[in-house]
Amino acid sequence: MYASTTVEVELDARGRSVVTAMRCEVPLLVRVDGASEVLTLLLLGGAAGPLGGDDLALTLIVGPGTDVVVRSVAAMLAQPGSSGAASALRTVVRVGEGARLDWETQPMISVVGSDHRSTTLLEVAGGARVRWSEAVLLGRHEERSGLLALHQRVVLGGGVILDHELVLGEGAPSGAGAHGDVRWVRSEVVIGPEAATTASAAVARTVVAGVFPLAPGASLATSAGSAAKDLVV
């Protein structure tokens, strides 16, 4: 199944952030949280998915000067399909000059037998502020994981500041940098004055974490753990 969802946000005549265009296809549904003072978009699944064979696309355009929060109402499960084919989710987000985006969604859960690829392109104009937080959970409770490939590319002011791919789960490559017995991985990109300016690392029995400056005014924080209970969203 192919499904595409597009949402566009701009300032209205009174300077408020409003949705000016929205086209949703199942299972990628978006709703506006009317109870929030800041424009808040809620991602929800209109059906199971992504299933093996699905090709899904999500596009969000955050216009100049707008203020947008993105949350999800539940975790997304990458599940196998009857055909045995892989699934894909392509997310493209463009943040205009002087805009603010706060994106924090529930984890993507890799279900045993699935083969899923998630690709994210985040394009940020100068003067914008972004917090982009996402996580993956390798397998449901007491289950093994499927195969999960994550590619993330961040462009700031026309220059690439982050472009990396991580492959996790059964069948993933081994060797230096392999994930071992990790059950979850989380990353957070921060662009703006809140970004870290120095690198740091922390290692505990079940969790490792690191912070890495990417460019002036931009940083990446990553963490991974072997116990699902340590993943806090």
Which strand (E) or helix (H) includes residue 13? Answer: none
Q: What single letter denotes the amino acid at residue 92? A: V
In a domain, 206, yes or no: no
| pLDDT for the residue 145 | 86
Cα 6 vs. chain centroid, distance in angstroms? 16
In a domain, 224, yes or no: no
In a domain, 140, yes or no: yes
Coil, helix or strand for 155? strand
| pLDDT for the residue 174 | 46
Query: Mean pLDDT throughout 206-217?
Result: 94
Note the pTM of the prediction, 2 decimals.
0.92
In a domain, 77, yes or no: yes
Strand ranges across the sheet with 2-11? 17-23, 2-11, 55-62, 87-95, 115-124, 147-156, 159-169
In a domain, 57, yes or no: yes
In a domain, 204, yes or no: no
| pLDDT for the residue 175 | 42
| pLDDT for the residue 181 | 74
Mean pLDDT, all residues of the chain:
90
Query: Mean pLDDT throughout 110-129?
Result: 95
167-207 pLDDT tens trace: 887 655 444 445 567 888 999 999 999 999 999 999 888 88
b/e for 73-95, b at 16 or more Cβ within 10 A?
eebbbbbbbeeeebbbbbbbbbb
Residue 105: which of 72, 132, 136 has the closest Cα?
72
Contact between 56 and 90 under an 8 Å Cβ cutoff? The reply is yes
Q: What is the number of domains present in the chain?
A: 1
**What is the domain extent for residue 6?**
2-180
Angstrom distance (rounded) from CA 2 to CA 14:
37
In a domain, 230, yes or no: no
In a domain, 197, yes or no: no
52-95 pLDDT tens trace: 999 999 999 999 999 999 999 988 999 998 788 999 999 999 99
